[in-house]
Amino acid sequence: MPLRIVRNDITKMHVDAIVNTANPEPGYGSGLDSAVYKSAGADKLLMDRREIGVMPKGTSAITKGYDLPAKYIIHTVGTPWADGKSGEEEIIRNCYRSAFKLALGHEAESIAFPLLASGCYGFPKGIALRLALSEIEAFLSENEMEVFLVVFDGKTFSLSSELYGDIDSYINDNFVEEKTKEEYSFEDRMPYASQSSMMLLGAAPRKTGSAFERSERSFFRKKKGANGSAPRYEDAKSSEFDEDTFVADEEEACVPELAALPAKKRSLDDCLSDIQKTFMELVFSFADAKEMTDVEVQKKANLDKRAFSKLKCGSTKNPSKSTALALAVALRLNLDETKDLLSRAGLALSPCSKQDLIVQYFIEHEAYDINEINFALFEHGEPLLGSQVKE
């Protein structure tokens, strides 16, 4: 099963086990620990915790969930951040490993983690996230379990500048909606339109509202994102990817290192050899060339077995955009190959989609960790790849 990123209160998660950041001594403190005890029933849970006794750092113990929706609570003891040279990271890795071991031993099929050590223990959130992704991915590479990483508030994941550097600048430089809003009024885009023709297009009369407010209904159409995410905009005339519009001129590029990246092109022979292949045939062709098994592709795309099986056997003819992009990331395709793969499903990268821009940013930087991409998408309110997709 894939990793899922959700925004929720972990005490309300309907899973087999939730993970609680526990004190080493019996009893409970503030924050998440306090919330878990109060929601489960503090008196009953404290009795179990006292029986467990003192817990060393990096270890975990399991109790009943009592009044929680979860069947079990796995209590794990972390450590404060010092300087990164005092074994802190290995202790947090052991927290994840020991929690997973207990979950397996109790035949749990689903587990929910907070981002361990990112709160009162003071770990830099970027390091805490890297540790979480590393241990969860290592576990899922060898085991089947539904794993949730639960985010309670928006502050937890303000990671763009820390992890992704210039991703926000990249989006701002290339997002068509914002560019159009900034540089052109509706009248500029349609200088010869009559009042009646503008009203037919859905615009309000010129005398009311701003130019962009009048044009928003006609020049762009809103498309609601998956899972209730914020709407995005597409050009009403075309949602096709326009490379001339999207790629900045080298002298004007706001991100110099992007302009310096070498363009990787497929040879003519490669293109001609794949000309008759369907979407999934091309997926397997890339997988064979990279010596990847079906299971490796499925896991690296963060897809569950059923979704991947439906694509493989043809019961799902064409994938969603999120699934197609997930497979491109799993196969470590360059931008040219990604466009080719998407086209087999009648899809294209669009400069009107922040999801597409974020994925393209990672591909251009040859950063193919799908969970890191999903965290960037999550932070920007965009549909995630793989795990959240239902075909």
Give tens-digit pLDDT for 84-114: 888 999 999 999 999 999 999 999 999 999 9
Count of domains observed in the chain: 3
Specify whether 92 is located in the same domain as 139.
Answer: yes
- How far from the centroid of its chain's Cα atoms is residue 182's Cα? 28
Q: Which of 56-60, 215-219, 321-325 is predicted with the least confidence, judged by mean pLDDT?
A: 215-219
Domain presence at residue 389 = no
Active site residue: 16, 33, 304, 340, which one? Answer: 33
Domain presence at residue 12 = yes
Specify whether 97 is located in the same domain as 215.
Answer: no
- Contacts of residue 97, Cβ cutoff 8 Å, sequence gap at least 6: 135, 139
What's the pLDDT score for residue 139?
Answer: 94
Q: Which amino acid is at 176?
A: V
DSSP 252: T
What's the pLDDT score for residue 273?
Answer: 58
Which SS3 state, helix, strand or coil, does residue 61 take?
strand
Mean pLDDT taken over the chain: 77
Specify whether 275 is located in the same domain as 367.
Answer: yes
On whether the CB atoms of residues 359 and 329 are closer than 8 A, the answer is yes
**Which domain does 257 fall in, by range?**
249-379
Give tens-digit pLDDT for 329-341: 999 999 999 999 9
Q: Which of 108-117, 191-200, 220-229, 306-315 is predicted with the least confidence, judged by mean pLDDT?
A: 220-229
On whether the CB atoms of residues 377 and 364 are closer than 8 A, the answer is no
Boundary (domain end) residue, out of 105, 136, 158: 158
> pLDDT band at residue 53, thresholds of 50, 70 and 90?
very high
Which SS3 state, helix, strand or coil, does residue 315 take?
coil
**Crossing angle of helices 370-379 and 321-330, rounded to 10°:** 140
Q: If residue 221 lies in a helix (H) or strand (E), which one and from where to where? A: strand 220-223
**Dist CA 281 CA 287 (whole Å):** 10
Specify whether 269 is located in the same domain as 305.
Answer: yes
**Dist CA 246 CA 364 (whole Å):** 13
Taking only Cα atoms into account, the Rg of the chain, rounded to an integer number of angstroms, comes to: 24
Question: Does the pLDDT of residue 316 top 80, yes or no?
Answer: no
Specify whether 215 is located in the same domain as 144.
Answer: no
48 is catalytic: no
Domain presence at residue 175 = yes
Which SS3 state, helix, strand or coil, does residue 85 take?
coil
